[in-house]
Structure 1
Amino acid sequence: MTHRPAVTVLSGFSPAATGAVARGLLVDDPNLLLVVHSIHDLADGRIRRLVRNAAGILEDVTVELVHGCVSCTLREDVLPTLVRLAREYPGSDQLLALPRAVEPEAVASVCAHTLIDGVPVTDAVRFDSYVTVVDAERLVRDLDTTDDLRHRGLHAAPDDHRGVADVVARQIEFADTIVVWAGPDADPLDRLRAATLVRRLAPWAAQEGLRGTRRHDPQRPPTLGRALEGYPIGDHEPVPDWGVASLLFESRRPFHPQRLHDALEELADRALRGRGQLWIAAQPDVALGFEASGGGVGLGSLGYWLATLPPSQWTEASPARRLTADATWDPYYGDRRTVLSFIGIDLAADALTTILTDCLLTDDELADGWESWSALPDPFAGCFTLPERLGHLS
Structure 2
Amino acid sequence: MTSSPQAPIRVETADAGTRPSLTVLSGFWPAATFAVARTLLAADPSLLLVRHDLAGIRDGVVRRVVRTGTGIVEDERIALAHGCASCTLREDVLPTLVRLARDNPGHDLVLMLPEVVEPEAVAAACAHHLVDGTPLTDLIHVDSYVTVLDAEHLLDGVASTDDLATLGIQAAEDDHRGLADVVVRQIEYADTLVLWGRSREGEFDTGRIAVLLQRMAPWAAHFRVDGDLVDADALTRHLRHTHRHRPETPGVLARGLQGFALGTHEPEADCGVVSAVFRARRPFHPRRLHDVLEDVNADVIRSRGHLWLASQPDTVVAWEFAGGGLTMGSLGHWLVSLPEPDWEHVCDQRRLAAALEWDPYYGDRHQHLVFIGLDVDPVELHRTLADCLLTDAELADGEEVWRTYHDPFAGCFPLGVAELTDTDTEGARLA
What is the CA deviation profile of residues 323-355 of structure 1, one whole-angstrom value per residue up to 9, with x for unaligned ones?
A: 111100001100001111110011111121122
Which amino acid in structure 2 is aligned with residue 345 of structure 1? L
TM-score with structure 1 setting the length: 0.95
The separation in 1 between residues aligned to 2:323 and 2:154, in whole angstroms, is 12
Between the aligned partners of 2:98 and 2:294, the Cα distance in structure 1 is 46
Residue identity in the other structure for 2:143: D
1:67 aligns with 2:59: no
Would the aligned equivalents of 2:212 and 2:273 in 1 still touch at CA under 8 Å? yes
Residue matched to 2:48: 33
CA distance in 2 between partners of 1:331 and 1:281 (Å): 17
Q: Secondary structure at the match of 1:17?
A: helix
What's the counterpart of residue 423 of structure 2? none
* AA aligned opposite 2:353: T
Q: Which stretch has the larger CA shift, 83-92 or 307-316?
A: 307-316
**Residues 1:340 and 2:355 aligned together:** no
Contact kept, 8 Å, 2:283 with 2:310, in 1: the verdict is yes
Paired residue for 1:391?
none
Aligned equivalents of 1:184, 1:28: Cα separation in 2: 26
State which of 327, 334, 347 in structure 2 corresponds to 1:305: 334
Kindly state the Cα deviation for residue 20 of structure 1 after the two structures are TM-superposed.
1.2
Cα deviation, residue 43, structure 1: 4.9
SS for the counterpart of 1:230 is coil
**Is 1:386 paired with 2:401?**
no
Which residue, 46, 52, 66 being the options, matches 2:67? 52
**Which residue matches 1:84?**
99
C-alpha distance in 2 between matches for 1:63 and 1:45? 8
| Equivalent residue number for residue 172 of structure 1 | 187
SS at structure 2 position matched to 1:284: strand
2:332 maps to a residue whose letter is G
- Deviation for aligned residue 1:184: 9.5
Aligned-pair CA distance for 1:214 = 0.6
**Bigger mean CA offset, 353-362 vs 243-252:** 353-362
Paired residue type of 1:346: D
The answer to whether the 8 A contact 1:74-1:110 is kept is no
- For 2:182, the aligned partner's letter is V
CA contact (8 A) 2:285 2:389 kept: yes
Percent of residue pairs identical: 56
Shift of 1:262: 2.1
Is residue 166–residue 294 contact of structure 1 (8 Å, CA) maintained in 2?
yes
Cα deviation code 1:113-170 (max 9, x no counterpart): 2111111111221111000111112111111111111232221112212111111111
- What residue is the counterpart of 1:116 in the other structure? 131
Q: Report the equivalent of 2:248.
A: 219
Letter of the aligned partner of 1:103 in structure 2? E
Question: Alignment length, in residue pairs?
Answer: 388
Q: Contact 1:149–1:155 (CA<8 Å) still a contact in 2?
A: yes
| Counterparts of residues 192-231 of structure 1 (less than 5 Å) | 192-208=207-223, 209-231=238-260
User: Which deviates more, 215-224 or 257-266?
Assistant: 257-266
- Distance in 2 (CA, whole Å) between partners of 1:184 and 1:266 is 29
How far is the alpha carbon of 1:318 from its aligned partner? Answer: 1.2
Shift of 1:110: 1.7
Q: Partner of 1:359: helix, strand, or coil?
A: coil
Distance between the aligned counterparts of 2:139 and 2:154, measured in 1?
A: 35
Per the TM alignment, residue 44 of structure 1 is displaced from its structure 2 partner at its CA by: 4.3
For 1:184 and 1:195, how far apart are their aligned partners in 2?
10
Q: 1:126 is matched with which residue: 126, 141, 161?
A: 141
Unaligned runs of 5+ in 2: 1-14, 224-237, 418-431
Deviation at 1:85, TM superposition (A): 0.6
The Cα of 1:385 is off from its aligned counterpart by 2.3
Aligned to 1:320: 349
Q: Given that residues 26 and 32 in structure 1 are in contact (C-alpha distance below 8 angstroms), is that contact kept between their aligned partners in structure 2?
A: yes
Residue type of the partner of 1:35? V
- Pairwise CA RMSD: 1.7
1:266 to partner: Cα distance: 2.5
1:293 is the counterpart of 2:322: yes
Mapped to 2, the partners of 1:49 and 1:159 lie a distance apart of 23
- Per the alignment, residue 115 of structure 2 pairs with 100
- Residue pair 1:265, 1:297 contacting (<8 A) in 2 also: no
What's the TM-score once normalised by structure 2's chain length? 0.87
Q: Distance in 2 between matches of 1:305 and 1:212?
A: 39
